[in-house]
Structure 1
Amino acid sequence: MIRLLAFLLPVVFMFSCEKIMFAPDQASRNALVNFDYLWNEVDKKYSYFELKNINWNTIKDTYRSKLNENSTDQELFDVLAKMLNELRDDHTNLVSPFNISSYNVALKSKENYRQRTITEYYIPDMWQTSAFSHGFVDNNKIGYVRYESFMSEFTDDELDFVLKRYQNTKGLILDLRQNGGGNLFNIPKILSRFTETKILAAYNITRNGAKHNEFSSRENFYITPYSGEKYLKPVAVLIDRGSYSATTFFSLVTKAFPQFTLIGDTTGGGGGLPNGGQLPNGWTYRFSISQLLDLNGNNFAETG
């Protein structure tokens, strides 16, 4: 948890600083001024230009030509939103008083999760404990735990109860299909229950230079064992193209655990920590400024 705080707190700090950079006399509604500001911020800080083979200069030429000093707010928003969507990154948003832009990840395979199928044919006696749906399969030999979203919060006591219920099983199924991500702090909160030793699980690098390929040195991400209830038997993690963002990060980190096996399709990608700021006209934005890597240095933000 401490290592994740080390990742997140600088991001929060930078967002706070950038929001107060503009004095009132610097505020501008000029569309070209705002376009240039956002383009330059992304150019200096975005972390996936090379991985995604994005020519940011060409994108500038394409979209800046659609604006002039007299462009309306709606025209400016539409152009900036389309420009940001060229990054193909669901951690990218533009927020105005009248609209919010987002990049919708196109699923490359059909959804293969059906709650009704599970309850009808496999686990008719499904329990619900806080954020977790769970039950026994295969004559009580295997435990099944469904975590629908990393946005869903839970207490230590609630997770203690779930894991204790399946201590006598031979293995556990953790279903993260169609989990679109959410709170990164829930990753170590869950994974700390599956180890008795501190594990180096991943690395983080942050964009820190003028060139698109200039990054900080690797920052270690550790999982520290929880002091209470644990589950140390084999775990199968179910994923699909609807598993995105924090779920991709979770899946990446499990590769450092010998008892975990990933089953299913590749995830939807995502994984960089976002940074935010404010345009001269007061609109806010965010985009990814870091990359999360597995222990072999691989990044799955684009491919899943």
Structure 2
Amino acid sequence: MKKILLAIVGVGMLLSCERALFERDKASNDPLVNFDYLWNEVDKKYSYFQLKGIDWNIVRDTLRQKLSNQSTEFELFDVLAEMLNTLRDDHTNLISPFNVSRFNVELQKPANFNARTVEKYYIPNGWITGPFFHDFLAGGQVGYIRYSSFMSSFSGQQLDFVLSRYKDTKGLILDLRSNGGGSIFNVPLLLSRFTTERLLAGYTITRNGPNHTDFGPRENFFITPDGDVKYLKPVIVLIDRGSYSATTFFAVLSLALPNLTLMGDTTGGGGGLPNGGQLPNGWRYRFSVSQLLDLQGNNYAEDGVPPQIPASFDWNDLTRDEIIERALQELL
């Protein structure tokens, strides 16, 4: 009898556990539960509400009504993606097993870079040293260096070689157009070759409270000279809307170096470092939790860093890169 009673109790406990597990799983997949969770996480931690003039309460009231507890996972994804895209921030994504949301800031403005034009008409015999594609322009008077992604690491020896090759030029063109970013640690490594003194170049602040205006103290961002080879002559840095994230960091920090000049179009932004987590249903998300400031405290990193010399690519003539031509005028 005891064994029978124990068996009955055991079955009852098992059924209770299964019921609790089923109810928990059902709750975690509830579209409204997941909507509220993500909205609250962004509300507590996102860093650019005030700068962008976003009314997050209106976003909630407008989009939550598109869902019910009967909504499909695809309908939930579309609504959550729409909610995140109101932030206009390519560091903000929703990652599900079947799709990834993105804003695509680069598509908001005309493109200003055509790789085929550069390779065919400017440096058809360009050298490839690690991630750098480079060669001489203007009869050897100017060096051109294309760095297409801060995701691509480089060694000190590679950078020594590239900069040494152009030591006798009048100036450099550093092309960061359509450089979507990557590792922020590559930014000071590259900037360190254009100065001989340690410079305070910018600040970061991080959201740290429930109010949209709650931020911690400024954290200094220094550029420290490094490496065996420096280049201290004029450097024209080419940027456009495709210059995002780490490239926007580079653009902001370069303003502290007097020999660097930004040319082209406004960068795509991405000055806020992303952080994230997991929704109750297991999907992952990320969004910007910090801000990047220049030395004057200007916070235009998320809306993009404007060029000091504007220039645009003319897509009617693909044999010519007007932005490179404008840079050559500055350097010669």
Q: Residues 38 and 279 of structure 1 are in contact (CA less than 8 Å); yes or no, is this contact kept in structure 2? A: yes
Specify the alignment match of 1:92 in structure 2: 92
- Tell me, yes or no, if the aligned pair for 1:26 and 1:280 is still in contact at 8 Å: no
C-alpha spacing 1:240/1:24, structure 2 compared with 1 (3 Å): farther
1:190-226 Cα shifts (integer Å, max 9, x gaps)? 1111111111111000011111111111100111111
Whether contact under 8 Å (1:47, 1:290) holds in the other structure is yes
**For 1:105 and 1:119, how far apart are their aligned partners in 2?**
26
Match status 1:302 vs 2:303: yes
* Counterpart residue number, 1:258: 258
Report sequence identity in percent.
64
Distance between the aligned counterparts of 2:23 and 2:197, measured in 1? Answer: 55
1:139 matched to which residue of 2? Answer: 139
Q: Is the partner of 2:236 in helix, strand or coil? A: strand
Distance 1:219 1:67 in 2: 41
Question: Match of 1:184, SS?
Answer: coil
State the alpha-carbon separation in 1 of the partners of residues 189 and 227 from structure 2.
Answer: 11
Is 1:244 matched with 2:249?
Answer: no
Deviation, structure 1 residue 116: 3.2
More moved, 146-155 vs 83-92:
146-155
Deviation, structure 1 residue 282: 1.1
Amino acid at match of 2:90: D
Query: Which residue number in structure 2 is paired with residue 216 of structure 1?
Result: 216
**Worse overlay, 237-246 or 76-85:** 237-246
* Alignment correspondent of 2:69: 69
Instruction: For residue 139 of structure 1, give the secondary structure of its aligned residue in structure 2.
Output: helix
Query: Does structure 1 residue 288 correspond to structure 2 residue 288?
Result: yes
C-alpha displacement of 1:108: 4.6
The amino acid across from 1:298 in the alignment is N
- Distance across 1 between alignment mates of 2:278 and 2:109: 36
Aligned mates of 2:41, 2:232 — CA distance in 1: 45
Q: Summarize the Cα distance change of 1:127–1:227 in structure 2 as closer, same or farther, 3 Å threshold.
A: closer
TM-score (norm 2): 0.81
1:237 and 1:167 mapped to 2: Cα distance?
Answer: 17
- Counterparts of 1:121 and 1:102, CA distance in 2: 34
In the TM superposition, 1:182-193 aligns within 5 A as 182-193=182-193
What letter is aligned with 2:31?
Answer: A
Post-superposition, which runs of at least 4 consecutive aligned residues in structure 1 deviate over 4 A? Answer: 23-27
Q: Distance in 2 between matches of 1:231 and 1:25?
A: 64
Letter in 2 for 1:302: D
Native 8 Å contact 2:160 2:227 kept in 1? no
Letter in 1 for 2:84: L
Paired AA for residue 115 in structure 1: A
**Structure-1-length-normalised TM-score:** 0.88
The count of aligned residue pairs is 282
Q: Cα deviation per residue 1:136-189 (whole Å; 9 max; x = unaligned)?
A: 112211111011111222222211111111111121110111111122111011
Corresponding residue of 2:155: 155
| CA drift at 1:26 | 5.9
What is the CA-CA distance between 1:25 and the residue it aligns to? 8.7
Moved more, 273-282 or 153-162: 153-162
Which protein is bigger by CA-based radius of gyration? 2
CA distance in structure 2 between the aligned counterparts of 1:41 and 1:271, rounded to whole angstroms: 20
Q: 1:34 Cα deviation (Å)?
A: 1.0
Aligned to 1:276, the other structure's residue is in SS state: strand
Structure 2 partner of 1:105: 105
Secondary structure class of the residue paired with 2:205: strand
Cα RMSD of the aligned pairs, angstroms, is 1.8
Q: Structure 2: which amino acid aligns with 1:263? A: M
Q: Which moved more, 1:63-72 or 1:77-86?
A: 63-72
Deviates more, 1:62-71 or 1:105-114: 105-114
Q: Which moved more, 1:157-166 or 1:40-49?
A: 157-166
Aligned twin of 1:52: 52
Q: Distance in 2 between matches of 1:88 and 1:225?
A: 35
- The runs of 5 or more residues in structure 2 that have no matched partner are 1-20, 306-332
Partners of 1:129 and 1:156 in 2: CA distance: 12
Greater helix proportion = 2
Q: Which runs of 5+ in 1 are unaligned?
A: 1-22
